[in-house]
């Protein structure tokens, strides 16, 4: 069990380092739940906080845990060109505590995160980048659903049916 936690910790560090890379991947298939990637400005009223509030009307098990600021953004991407303009992290109460006892408040594995971007292309690019980085490390896998300028990132500990409910709720963003 301790070895599993050590592997997961190492993988989490690699993901954090990989997700903060300045490289820009090419946009391709965004996996399940991908939507249009046409570039368009984000509506001024859409923030990660308001997006989560809207999602929780359909998925009430999601509970805000962290509002990301420039000071606590572990990826150092908030407000950078082409990166997210707002981000929140949340826990989903349906994920068994035993499955995520090793993780800390704010980790995507506890529920997920919502990132809002200047354009839909930026959101799709971020989703593709995360999928590329995590593809070869199953312990880092996650569901990523870009909807317009909003990217909904979800824990691998959610079932496909539970993740699909977030995807369906996220369709309201584009």
3-state secondary structure 11-57: HHHHHHHHHCCCCCCCCCCCCCCCCCCCCCCCCCCCCHHHHHHHHCC
Tell which wins on pLDDT, 132 or 7.
Answer: 132
- Please compute the mean of the pLDDT values over residues 139-148 and round it to a whole number: 96
- Based on DSSP, count helices (H) and strands (E) in the chain, helices before strands: 4, 5
Any idea of the CA torsion for 114, 80, 33, 51, to the nearest 10 degrees? 30
Q: What is the pLDDT of residue 109?
A: 97
pLDDT at 158 over 70: yes
- What are the φ and ψ backbone dihedral angles of 7, each rounded to 5 degrees? -65, -45
Residues 16-64: tens digit of each pLDDT: 444 443 333 333 333 444 444 455 554 457 999 999 999 999 999 999 9
Q: What is the distance between the alpha carbons of residues 168 and 164, in angstroms, rounded to a whole number?
A: 6
Residue at token pair 């989903």 = 92
Distance separating the N- and C-terminal Cα atoms of the chain: 42
Q: Is the pTM of this model over 0.85?
A: no
Q: Are 144 and 134 in contact (CB under 8 A)?
A: no
Domain ranges of the chain: 2-20+40-173
Higher pLDDT, 174 or 43: 174
- For the ranges 11-15, 76-80, 90-94, 166-170, which has the lowest average pLDDT? 11-15
Max Cα-Cα span within the chain:
46
> Is the pLDDT confidence value at 121 over 90?
yes
- Which pair of tokens denotes residue 40? 């368009």
- Please work out, in degrees rounded to the nearest 5, the angle formed at the alpha carbon of residue 59 by the alpha carbons of 141 and 156: 10
- 172: which DSSP letter? G
pLDDT band at 174 (very low <50, low <70, confident <90, very high): confident
At residue 73, does pLDDT exceed 50? yes
* pLDDT over 70 (residue 15): no
pLDDT of amino acid 39: 53
Instruction: Report the pLDDT averaged over residues 116-135.
Output: 96
- Report the alpha-carbon distance of residue 12 to residue 97 in Å, rounded: 18
Q: How far apart are CA 46 and CA 37, in angstroms?
A: 17
| pLDDT value for 5 | 43
Q: Please report the pLDDT score of residue 21 as a whole number.
A: 38
For the record, the structure tokens of 15 come out as 């993901």
């Amino acid at each position: 069990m301790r070895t599993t936690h050590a592997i997961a910790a190492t993988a989490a560090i690699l993901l954090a380092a990989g997700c903060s890379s300045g490289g820009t991947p090419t946009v391709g298939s965004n996996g399940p739940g991908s939507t249009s990637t046409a570039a368009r400005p984000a509506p001024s009223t859409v923030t990660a906080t308001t997006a989560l509030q809207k999602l929780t009307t359909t998925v009430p098990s999601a509970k805000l845990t962290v509002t990301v600021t420039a000071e606590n953004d572990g990826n150092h991407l908030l407000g950078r060109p082409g990166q997210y303009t707002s981000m929140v992290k949340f826990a989903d109460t349906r994920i068994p505590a035993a499955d995520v006892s090793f993780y800390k408040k704010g980790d995507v594995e506890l529920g997920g995160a919502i990132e809002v971007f200047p354009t839909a292309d930026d959101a799709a690019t971020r989703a593709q980048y995360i999928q590329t980085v995590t593809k070869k490390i199953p312990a880092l896998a996650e569901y990523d659903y870009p909807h317009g300028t909003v990217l909904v990132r979800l824990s691998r500990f959610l079932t496909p049916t539970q993740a699909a409910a977030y995807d369906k709720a996220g369709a309201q963003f584009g």
